[in-house]
Amino acid sequence: MRQERRSPNMLLSVIVPAYNEVATVEFALRRIRQVPLRLEIIAVNDASTDGTREILDGLAETGLVDRVIHHAQNRGKGAAIRTGIAVATGDAIVVQDADLEYDPADLPALLLPIRARQADAVYGSRFQGGPHRVLYFWHFVGNRVLTLLSNMFTNLNLTDLETCYKLVRADLMKKLPLSSNRFGFEVEITARLAQASARIWEIPISYSGRTYAEGKKITWRDGLAALFHILRYNLFVPRTK
């Protein structure tokens, strides 16, 4: 049997966009650092006003975070991610929300198909059997509808378009013509990966969603905007870098 070629010493750049996450950001970053991988942790503070900035600067001084970048004005999650992508030096890149809805312990499994050179991007799916907190029915329905519509345009069979965990080869990620500033990033990166004919895998992950009382920021308005983004990013294809 032919043995797979692997890249065991890959450096994974973890981009942590943060906006007013003072309650969870430090714990999230410490959880990421415990992951048994070679990591580069890049925190992007999107003009927080609650003390997140000071926490990140303090963690950078201790070496827990490799790089902290501050936006002078709030520009949105997508803009923060693009800032992180621009400075990342790893072999692969993934986004980790600062709110601990996603478990960093899942990252080694997500990296495996890329290490084995079987995939260019790996999505962590919340709907393939992993443990998850039971929350909002209409969020579930909305994600299913958006995933279906996106799949119709991209001809992919994804189960979770809106997952935060999209682990992508860095050389490919840096070439994608990304422009979204807010939550349209999830739709845009999927469209751009499909247009680049990327090999995409899905891996089941755990998910501990939070309520609005606990700080969840995405709303029904972002869901409506995602419908527009699906049309926009799939019908209008810019030139790649």
Evaluated on CA atoms 142, 101, 49, 41, the torsion sign reads negative
pLDDT at position 104 over 70: yes
pLDDT at position 236: 81
pLDDT at position 181 over 80: yes
Q: Which of 167, 170, 142 is nearest to 230 (CA)?
A: 142
pLDDT at position 34: 97
Of 132 and 234, which is predicted with more confidence?
234
pLDDT at position 119: 98
Q: Which of 161, 162, 185, 160 is nearest to 46 (CA)?
A: 185
pLDDT at position 53: 97
Mean pLDDT of 79-108: 95
Q: What is the mean pLDDT of the chain?
A: 88
pLDDT at position 209: 60
pLDDT at position 220 over 70: no
Mean pLDDT of 215-235: 73
72 and 45 Cβ atoms separated by less than 8 Å = no
The amino acid occupying position 24 is T
* DSSP calls for 143-180: HHHHHHHHHHHH----S-TT-S-EEEEHHHHTTS----
pLDDT at position 210 over 60: no
Q: Report the C-alpha gap between 35 and 146 in whole angstroms.
A: 31
Write down all domains in the chain, each with its CATH number in brackets: 11-235 (3.90.550.10)
Mean pLDDT of 71-77: 96
107 and 94 Cβ atoms separated by less than 8 Å = yes
Percent of the chain past pLDDT 90, that is, above it, reads: 70
* 160 confidence band (pLDDT: 50, 70, 90): very high
pLDDT at position 139 over 70: no
Mean pLDDT of 34-61: 97
pLDDT at position 165: 97
Of 222 and 198, which is predicted with more confidence?
198
pLDDT at position 223: 65
The values of phi and psi at residue 110, to 5°, are -65, -30
Mean pLDDT of 206-226: 61
Q: Report the C-alpha gap between 201 and 120 in whole angstroms.
A: 8
pLDDT at position 38 over 70: yes
* DSSP calls for 6-49: --TTPEEEEEEEESS-TTTHHHHHHHHHTSSSEEEEEEEE-S-S
Instruction: List residues bridging with 38 in a β-sheet.
Output: 11
* 214 confidence band (pLDDT: 50, 70, 90): very low
227 and 146 Cβ atoms separated by less than 8 Å = yes
